[in-house]
């Protein structure tokens, strides 16, 4: 009897990356099923209908089954409410982290496995390395081959237990190669632009989104020595290190601190006032937890942030991170992600 094909459920967002991921898997002999996750339909800026149509057309072109799974309620509860609660309490959360943890590699992964999937795949630019070590194999997340598109940062909070059944088919390719292959096989979304903005919400400015959901609350803008400089319409609309949109003449001014209890926004014209030499990180999600610390690793404090050499010291459930050079605009609520070379070893929330 011929060997049964392994079944892979592919999360198809409508973009070229996930569509090429599905195409590569089909070419590799897998039984591929495309799934669009419906997570958000609110607001005129939402592109979900266009995304779903693009994913459906790509699946039809590839000749694979296609389904739409409704996660509207769960996305609102696990991602949007998390984000709004964070901003409302004075931190700057990262909804893309929760989307990956709770939706793509949570609900979608779990449902796919229950329906008989051998693997779940997405269009993330990341790689997996499977190492055979007695008595068991170990799986590592590595940065994607394309340094400009690497998305391993956004995978730092997913469950380590799912790695054995994940695939990232485009992670070993450059973006230019992915586009070229999409054109070669005639994918209808080969020229489609990359998505921007909040995960699944579409092309919407974060400030506009927050103002739709969190009422304005006027407060004072003050200097680091307490001098009144102006007014703001809600400290939660701003983020540490922000320079644009503060509304003060002169400057430039940088947001140094959000005093949430007094609703004051503290600003400074001095870059050194937004530099930090020590960073505390909590709720660490480890893929390869160091046994002894402090250790030398590299860290990212934002997605587009270059790798920074740091000393990392585990303190209970938290880590004290000491970068070799002071870092600007370290923002509570964002994620610090740790690497050993190209290997993602863990990440947690900046406090």
Query: Binning pLDDT at 50, 70 and 90, where does residue 203 land?
Result: low
Per-residue buried b or exposed e for 42-74, using 16+ beta carbons within 10 Å of the residue's own CB: beeebbbeebbebbbbbbebbebebeebebeee
Q: What is the pLDDT of residues 157-200, one digit of tens each?
A: 999 999 999 999 999 999 999 999 999 999 999 999 887 656 65
Query: Binning pLDDT at 50, 70 and 90, where does residue 3 land?
Result: confident
Query: Binning pLDDT at 50, 70 and 90, where does residue 328 land?
Result: very high
Query: Binning pLDDT at 50, 70 and 90, where does residue 56 land?
Result: very high
Q: Is the pLDDT of residue 44 over 50?
A: no
Q: Using CA atoms, how far apart are residues 286 and 294, in angstroms rounded to an integer?
A: 16
Burial of 90 (0-12, 13-18, 19+ CB in 10 A): middle
> What pLDDT does residue 243 have?
92
Q: Using CA atoms, how far apart are residues 103 and 109, in angstroms rounded to an integer?
A: 8
> What pLDDT does residue 95 have?
93
Percent of the chain with pLDDT over 90: 79
- In DSSP terms, which residues pair with 296 in a beta bridge? 311
DSSP 249: S
Of the listed 39, 46, 99, 319, which one is catalytic? 99
Q: Say which residue, 135 or 322, is predicted with more confidence.
A: 322
In this structure, is the dihedral angle defined by the CA atoms of residues 302, 305, 307 and 309, taken in order, positive or negative? Answer: negative
199 is catalytic: yes
**Beta strand 119-121 with 7-11: parallel, antiparallel or unpaired?**
parallel
Q: What is the pLDDT of residues 273-301, one digit of tens each?
A: 999 999 999 999 999 999 988 999 999 99
> What pLDDT does residue 136 have?
63
Triad 343, 347, 351: Cα angle to 5°:
150
Of the listed 39, 46, 199, 319, which one is catalytic? 199
> Taking residues 72-92, what's their average pLDDT?
93
Q: Which two tokens stand for residue 307?
A: 């790798």
> What pLDDT does residue 317 have?
87
Q: What is the pLDDT of residues 127-163, one digit of tens each?
A: 999 876 655 678 999 999 999 999 999 999 999 999 9
Task: Give phi and psi for 271, each to the nearest 5.
Answer: -60, -35
DSSP 235: G
Q: What is the pLDDT of residues 260-278, one digit of tens each?
A: 889 999 999 999 999 999 9
Q: What is the pLDDT of residues 207-253, one digit of tens each?
A: 778 888 888 999 999 999 999 999 999 998 899 999 998 999 988 99
> Taking residues 59-81, what's their average pLDDT?
96
Q: Using CA atoms, how far apart are residues 10 and 67, in angstroms rounded to an integer?
A: 10
Q: Cα dist. 153→27, 34, 131, 225 in Å?
A: 28, 25, 21, 37
> What pLDDT does residue 207 have?
76
Q: Using CA atoms, how far apart are residues 202 and 220, in angstroms rounded to an integer?
A: 32
> What pLDDT does residue 45 have?
46
Per-chain mean pLDDT for the chain = 92
């Amino acid at each position: 009897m011929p060997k049964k094909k392994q079944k892979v459920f592919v999360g198809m967002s409508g973009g070229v990356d996930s569509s090429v991921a599905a195409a590569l898997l089909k070419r590799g002999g897998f039984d591929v099923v495309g799934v669009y996750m419906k997570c958000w339909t609110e607001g005129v800026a939402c592109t979900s209908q266009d995304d779903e149509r693009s994913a459906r057309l790509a699946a039809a072109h590839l000749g694979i089954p296609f389904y739409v799974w409704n996660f509207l309620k769960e996305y609102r509860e696990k991602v949007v409410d998390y984000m709004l609660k964070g901003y409302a309490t004075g931190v700057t959360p990262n909804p893309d982290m929760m989307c990956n943890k709770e939706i793509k590699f949570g609900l979608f992964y779990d449902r796919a496995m229950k329906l008989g999937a051998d693997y779940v795949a997405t269009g993330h630019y990341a790689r997996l390395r499977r190492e055979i070590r007695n008595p068991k194999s170990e799986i590592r997340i590595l940065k994607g081959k394309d340094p400009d598109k690497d998305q391993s940062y956004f995978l730092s909070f997913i469950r380590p237990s799912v790695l054995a059944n994940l695939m990232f088919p485009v992670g070993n390719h450059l973006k230019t190669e992915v586009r070229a292959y999409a054109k070669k096989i005639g994918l209808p979304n080969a020229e489609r632009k990359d998505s921007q903005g909040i995960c699944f919400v579409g092309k919407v400015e974060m400030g506009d989104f927050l103002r739709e959901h969190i009422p304005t609350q006027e407060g004072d803008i003050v200097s680091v020595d307490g001098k009144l400089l102006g007014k703001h319409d809600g400290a939660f609309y701003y983020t540490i290190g922000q320079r644009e949109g503060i509304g003060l003449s002169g400057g430039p001014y940088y947001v140094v601190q959000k005093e949430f209890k007094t609703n004051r926004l503290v600003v400074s014209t001095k870059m050194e006032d937004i530099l930090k030499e020590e960073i505390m990180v909590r709720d660490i999600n480890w893929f390869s937890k160091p046994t002894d610390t402090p250790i030398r690793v590299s860290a990212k404090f934002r997605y587009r942030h270059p790798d920074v050499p740091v000393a990392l010291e585990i303190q209970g459930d938290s880590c004290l991170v000491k970068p070799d050079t002071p870092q600007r605009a370290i923002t509570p609520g964002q994620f610090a992600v740790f690497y050993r070379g190209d290997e993602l070893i863990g990440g947690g929330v900046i406090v």
